[in-house]
Structure 1
């Protein structure tokens, strides 16, 4: 009797595990597809040869961005609009890095937990949006220009 119950529980747990893994893989498909398409666009339009980071920015409009190296071994950033496919290409001397954006945010906001940074466009201006958790546990977004690191906006206590 106990052996039968254990076998039944093992079968149910196996089915649940397979379902959970399948659901996770299906949910990742849009991200992987967007990353693959963005890298292909960056290779064609900006000479990307090695992708190092992929970003998905979603505010008023959605942008997919890829950072990496071009044929000259220079760091570039290619920002692609989801709708219309418009491209913005930045060379290494034209933007601050993700790490620099996080450091500038930490300097301004003090004791916070940085969650992630995403690059996108606000109008025609490339911006970094750095999400963070405040000491009170609430979320915030610190937005700065990607070209100079100047403050654009800050949304707190979400």
Structure 2
């Protein structure tokens, strides 16, 4: 009788481990498929930035999605200048900005921290609002609600803010 119980327990454990393994590998496959478009966009943007922005080294990638979607690649060009290559998704129009001619991601985040006192900064991305290059800082405000601020790349002036989404 004891042997039958041990066999049943062993079988139940094996089945549970098999179910857990299926859930684990299934989750990995779902994540991989969900992340594939982002990684494809990143790789395509890097190729365009290297070709048209003459980047020899890339340091960051940003996805900006407001009225239009922009992919921005940060890096160093062949003249050893730190630049941002901003690519419009629909038109593939490319703008190149010298990093020294504007505020950095860290400066944009610092401005938002000082002005908005967020609980947490979720994401920062460089893109364009109309014809103006802007940093979008997405954050949780002091009430824990999703908010964002658009700051001019050139000087950090506030372009737009939306609170409590």
Taking structure 2 as the reference length, what is the TM-score of the superposition?
0.92
Q: 1:32 aligns with which of 17, 21, 39?
A: 39
Shift of 1:72: 2.2
Shift of 1:35: 0.7
Shift of 1:96: 1.2
Greater shift, 102-111 or 83-92, is seen at: 102-111
Q: For 1:46-61, what aligned pairs fall within 5 Å after superposition?
A: 46-61=53-68
Map of 1:3 onto structure 2: 10
Map of 2:4 onto structure 1: none
Q: 1:83 aligns with which of 90, 93, 116?
A: 90
For structure 2, which runs of at least 5 residues remain unmatched after alignment? 1-7
Residue 147 of structure 1 aligns to a residue in which SS? coil
Q: For 1:105-124, what aligned pairs fall within 5 Å after superposition?
A: 105-124=112-131
Retained in 1: the 8 A contact 2:112–2:118? no
Q: For 1:12-31, what aligned pairs fall within 5 Å after superposition?
A: 12-31=19-38
Aligned residue-pair number? 158
User: RMSD across aligned C-alpha pairs, in angstroms?
Assistant: 1.0
Q: Structure 1, residues 53-95: CA drift from partner, whole Å, max 9, x if none?
A: 1011111111111111111222100110110100110012222
Taking structure 1 as the reference length, what is the TM-score of the superposition?
0.96
Q: Structure 1, residues 36-55: CA drift from partner, whole Å, max 9, x if none?
A: 11111111111111111101
Greater shift, 89-98 or 54-63, is seen at: 89-98
Retained in 1: the 8 A contact 2:117–2:141? no
